[in-house]
Structure 1
Amino acid sequence: MPGSQVGIGLSGAGGRYFSLSALYLFIYYGFGAFSPLITQYYNSISLTGTQIGLISAVAPVVSIIAQPMWGLFCDRFQIRKTVLILTLVVSGLVGLFFIGTSAFAFVFLLYLILSFFQSAIIPVSDSLALGYAKKNGLQFGDIRLWGAVGFALAALVTGLLVEKLGPSVLFYSYCFALLIAVLLVLRVPDESQETPRFRVGMLTGMRDLLRMPRYLLFLLASFCVLGAVNANNIWFSLFYQEIGGTVAGVGLAFLLFAGSEAPFMKLAGMIVRRWGLELTLLLAAVFGAARWLWYSSAPSTTLVIAMFFVQGISVGFYLATSAQFVRENTPASLQVTALAIFFSVGGGLGTMLCNLAAGWIKDSYSTLGIYLFFGIITVIGIIPLVMIKFGPWKQRSFDEDAEVTQ
């Protein structure tokens, strides 16, 4: 009966949306258990600021090579779900090896391995979600916001557990969340079969992407903006304690900060429809720069918590719209590659620079100096965003994608 078929179709679509949302919830729950509190583990094994900076720079350095490699591999062979399952399983299991480890060299090696596999998780999952959102007329932010919810919950719950049971709890939480995510990937739709297949050489594909002015400028902006955002996840714990906070307070702060991203990711869709992607991204960067510069003035913990929603505007808006900007300004057949390069530049090169500089600044000055640096580099990142909005380069249409697939 026609009515029955419609009901089944709606049920199937609803189930796929639920699976994608839950996938983001658990992936970012794992990240929320790991990133904000890993510094507590470093402190427990007596690492110096310089050593923390070096370890924190491993992931960005690895991602510079690994993320484009994973992306090109997925685009050529159209095996996004297989790659995502593999990297989730290996990342989760490697996380457990940190437990009981105290030697700097061994921690460095483990982080190197973890970073290689973890670097594929976000660009591949974003590609799956973007494909589903485009096919079903949804905003990517409606799905991505569940990642913010997961990150916020993990930061609070794991922060409380770490204070009571010790840093090893964060590794168990990280592994558990990623393994749950594996089960959800099996139910997630993959629209890659409907995407033009990537038929050019790998280096040619990367060269073509880097010849697109709007995409290249966006990479430069994200190098600065996301570099500071990602590095903040590592250094905020020390900053918050320096201005008088506690470890449990760090968990509460991340709950409010990351939790505020979810409603603003939802709001981002409305802002984009009214004012466009470029102005939404520019607004996010301006709020981000103002936030870091304010942090460098040593505000009270009460004010930092009270102004939690600034993260929603800055980080929530940027993360909800950045992947959409990449999708709309690059060929569909190179989507995973374009996303991977974007993450390797923002989450890789930019984060590497910010973490290395932050480690040196901590040892030479203080954590307040770290946030002054974050503010300055974010201001620099605003410049290419202004050029994208007001420059001569117009958005191209990549619907046909003929020049890449022929």
Structure 2
Amino acid sequence: MSEIPSGNQRGSDTGKYVSFAALFLFIYYGFGAFSPLITQYYKSIQLSGTQIGMISAVAPVVSIVAQPMWGMICDRFQIRKTILLLTLIVSGLVGLLFTTVSTFAFVLLLYVVLSLFQSAVIPISDSLALGFAKKRQLQFGDIRMWGAVGFALAAFVTGLLVERWGPSVLFYSYCVALLIAILFLWRVPEEVAESSRFTVSMFKGMKDLLRIPRFLLFLLASFCIIGTVNANNIWFSLYYQEIGGTVAGVGLAFLLFAGSEAPFMKLAGILVRKYGLELTLLFAAVFSAFRWFWYSSAPSTTAVLAIFFIQGISVGFYLATAAQFVRENTPASLQVTAIAIFSSVGSGLGTMLCNLVAGWIKDSYSMLAIYLFFGVMTAIGIIPLLIIKYGPWKQQVQQEEVTTTQ
């Protein structure tokens, strides 16, 4: 029989929730200051579209190796908070070094180093929050939505600052935000379920995960869908100026876009309870494809801003439920590793391909063609989601968990 939580316990849980909310707020504030406006820095040092694509594509290659490595270390030694602390500090300090370089080779080198440490931040923070949410029967989206709030605020504020003082300000904002996040990291719990101890070898664990059909199909879907979402964060700044916008307008756009994610992440929990994870993910993916195809038709900046909530529907729903899908469809003993693999495929391989192709498309065709490509990629990603929902493995989740953990 479970114990009824006392008033002190409820108060403690509230404090821990606030710490998680602040942790996500400042982590994503740093990301929101960096990603949406980094192309303004590239533009200021006169990099070509192909060079921008190469930087944005090569760096995720590092995360493909680094994320599973970080995940395995965390699963093996149960030191998630220690690793997250290390990677937040190093990521922030490396970010500052961008203010000292202005050539393609040095920017590429710094971006690779930054990716090595930054690639651990999202999988580990997600894992900590998922463990906290599951134990207290909360929805992960209730915590993750604070990341959307931080990202939105950062994009807007940093956009104004960049237009006034230049792109170097985004690196200072990034560093300060990550260092502030550390203050709240100390207060979040590192809870490990009894079944989550490291019971298999590292590489056997990866092999077992990739033998789960639902997990493998979801990796394929996220390769296409998350890859385009992350690539949009890089290219939207140039796209928005291409259709007549300003740098400050880019910040306003991201404020509206990312700001819309928070309420939809909250709503995602309601949809999941009513319709299930699979339909919620499908719904988000369809809206995402529609968004990219619409962007490729060169709408006015007014229209792009007016229909800002389309990001909340597509990105908000998908990000709020993706990590939960991974957790519910993989063994408890490999939770961090599973999330790290998922992140390395979507945010690593998928983003690498989308950025590399986008850079070539920009120099060879146009910014509008980049978004046509994003639409096609997302439409392809819908196919494995349909198979997950209606294919032969839709009822075999529990069986796969049992078989894999034996």
| TM-score w.r.t. length of structure 1 | 0.97
Shift of 1:191: 1.2
- In structure 2, what is the Cα distance between the partners aligned to 1:136 and 1:218? 26
Aligned CA RMSD, in angstroms, stands at 1.4
Per the alignment, residue 278 of structure 2 pairs with 278
Deviations 1:9-48 (A, max 9, x none): 1211111000001100000000000000000000011111
Q: Partner of 2:105 in structure 1? A: 105
Deviations 1:290-327 (A, max 9, x none): 00000000000000000100000000000000000000
1:137 aligns to 2:137 (yes or no): yes
The residue type paired with residue 126 of structure 1 is D
- Gaps spanning 5+ residues in structure 1: where? none
Residue correspondence of structure 1 range 6-405 to structure 2 within 5 A = 6-192=6-192, 194-396=194-396
Question: Any gaps of 5 or more consecutive residues in structure 2?
Answer: none
Question: Are residues 172 and 103 of structure 1, via their aligned partners in 2, closer, same or farther at CA, if it must alter by over 3 Å?
Answer: same
Q: Deviations over 1:330-384 (max 9, x none)?
A: 0011000000000000000000000000000000011100000000000000000
Aligned residues of 2:22 and 2:146 also touching (Cα < 8 A): yes
Taking the aligned partners of 2:381 and 2:401, their CA distance within structure 1 comes to: 30
- CA shift digits 1:265-287 (9 cap, x unpaired): 00000000110000000000000
Amino acid at match of 2:252: L
Q: Partners in 2 of 1:221 and 1:351 — Cα distance?
A: 13
1:201 Cα offset (Å): 1.2
After TM superposition, give the deviation of residue 192 of structure 1 in Å. Answer: 1.8
Deviation, 1:400, is: 12
One-letter identity of the residue aligned with 1:382: I
Which is worse superposed, 176-185 or 396-405? 396-405
Do the aligned partners of 1:157 and 1:251 also contact (CA within 8 Å) in 2? Answer: yes
| SS of 2:192 mapped into structure 1 | helix
Contact 1:30 1:177 in 2 (8 A): yes
- The answer as to whether partners of 2:149 and 2:258 remain within 8 angstroms in 1 is yes
- How far did residue 6 of structure 1 move? 2.4
* Structure 2 CA distance for aligned equivalents of residues 50 and 280 of structure 1: 36
- The alignment-based identity, stated in percent, is 76
The offset of 1:103, in angstroms, is 1.2
Q: Report the secondary structure of 1:132's partner residue.
A: helix
Alpha-carbon contact 1:289-1:378 (below 8 Å) kept: yes
Q: Give the drift of 1:401.
A: 6.4
Contact 2:26 2:181 in 1 (8 A): yes
Q: Aligned residues, how many?
A: 402
Q: Distance in 1 between matches of 2:100 and 2:196?
A: 47
After superposition, the C-alpha distances for 1:138-195 in whole angstroms (9 at most, x for unaligned) are 0000000000000000000000000001111100000000001111111001112544
CA contact (8 A) 2:40 2:167 kept: yes
